Amino acid sequence: MGEGLRFGVITLQNAPWGEMAERWRSIEGLGFDSVWVADHFVDFSRPREPWFEAWTLLAGLATQTSRIRIGTLVTPMAWRNPAFLARMAMTVDHLSRGRLELGLGAGARGDIDCSYAMTGIEDWAPWERVARFREAVEIIDGLLRNEVTTYRGKYYSVEGAAMSPAPVQKPRPPITVGALGRSMLSLAARYADTWNSYGGMGISGEEMLEVTRERNAFLDEYCEEIGRDPGSLRRSLLLFGPPAQRAYSSMDGFGEVVEEYADAGITEFIVYYPFRDEHLPYFENIAIKIIPELRDDAG
């Protein structure tokens, strides 16, 4: 997309409000391009621990920063009605003065996320999850682009839905689609400004790199099929599992991971905010010393 490498941070919303606000101000001060929150009912790895709701927290944190791009990574479609989600996105776009990155996904199925059982939300089959996502993203895209939208689908419908004021960003806030499988990758090629992946679970670092290359190639194919320039779709990676472990093993390790995945087509890297305070100096060194060098090298 002609913008070089981008770097972002995802912060789990498990700290008191004042600490969350300070984290975001610090991340912005360190020069990162974007900062994100997760969107789950609870932290599914620690469901009884403190946890703030994503979009209301995002609205508050938007007022604590001034430059950095902000978003959810990503909002599952099951959690929200698409028309209300579009209005939420428009509102946060105004609160942030045009800095929203709208992260959307079909959501994970089964035991990986206990939010379904806790809230009574239906855990759709994979095919239905993708079908619903297609309709929902079409509604959201239409509402954020147009003053009035009518849409009639199998799962969702809106009739003369008015959107005022319009978002700050034109033609709408950029959409990040989280996609792993081929059906979702095809939808990312059609609707997303950025595609995001996290590699996968239960596989090795080498397998993660290879599957990322394969997904990137599929995206190129799907873009070409619909007449879209593949270069217009940013490729984003949440560093998770073995790549994250390597990246935090040493200063050289972070650069090596970025270079490997950049060679596989990735142009945006999102890291977790440190889970322990003793890791903060290393995190800050990456931001201050390593990332500027990587940006210059990618030049």
CA distances to 73, 106, 110, 262 from 208, rounded to whole Å, are 19, 21, 22, 14
If you average pLDDT over residues 155-167, what whole number do you get?
Answer: 98
Does residue 2 register a pLDDT over 50? no
Does residue 158 register a pLDDT over 80? yes
Nearest by Cα to 130 from 173, 81, 185, 174: 185
Structure confidence by residue, pLDDT tens digits, 226-261: 999 999 999 999 999 999 999 988 889 999 999 999
Answer whether 0.85 is exceeded by the pTM: yes
Task: Let me know: does 144 contact 88? Beta carbons within 8 Å.
Answer: no
Alpha carbons 142 and 148: distance in angstroms, whole number:
8
Cβ burial, residue 102 (10 Å; 0-12/13-18/19+): buried
Angle (deg, nearest 10), helices 82-95 and 126-145:
50
Structure confidence by residue, pLDDT tens digits, 15-62: 999 999 999 999 999 999 999 999 999 998 899 999 999 999 999 999
Binned at pLDDT 50, 70 and 90, residue 85 comes out as: very high
Does residue 3 register a pLDDT over 90? no
Structure confidence by residue, pLDDT tens digits, 115-143: 888 999 999 999 999 999 999 999 999 99
Nearest by Cα to 179 from 189, 166, 164, 169: 189
Does residue 111 register a pLDDT over 70? no
Does residue 200 register a pLDDT over 60? yes
- Note the pLDDT of residue 201: 83
Structure confidence by residue, pLDDT tens digits, 260-295: 999 999 999 999 999 989 989 999 999 999 999 999
Does residue 109 register a pLDDT over 80? no
Does residue 299 register a pLDDT over 90? no
- Note the pLDDT of residue 110: 66
Binned at pLDDT 50, 70 and 90, residue 78 comes out as: very high
For 14-156, where are the E strands, in sequence order?
A: 34-37, 69-72, 75-76, 100-105, 148-152
Angle (deg, nearest 10), helices 82-95 and 54-62:
20
Alpha carbons 59 and 92: distance in angstroms, whole number:
6
Alpha carbons 133 and 151: distance in angstroms, whole number:
14
Structure confidence by residue, pLDDT tens digits, 141-153: 999 999 999 999 9
Task: Let me know: does 260 contact 208? Beta carbons within 8 Å.
Answer: no
Provide the residue type at 194 as one letter: T
Dihedral sign, Cα of residue 10, residue 181, residue 261, residue 265: negative
Q: Which residues are 177's β-sheet partners?
A: 104, 195
If you average pLDDT over residues 190-202, what whole number do you get?
Answer: 93
β-strands 194-197, 268-272 pairing: unpaired
β-strands 157-162, 148-152 pairing: antiparallel
Average pLDDT over the chain, rounded to an integer:
95
Alpha carbons 149 and 270: distance in angstroms, whole number:
34
Residue 220, SS3 per DSSP: helix
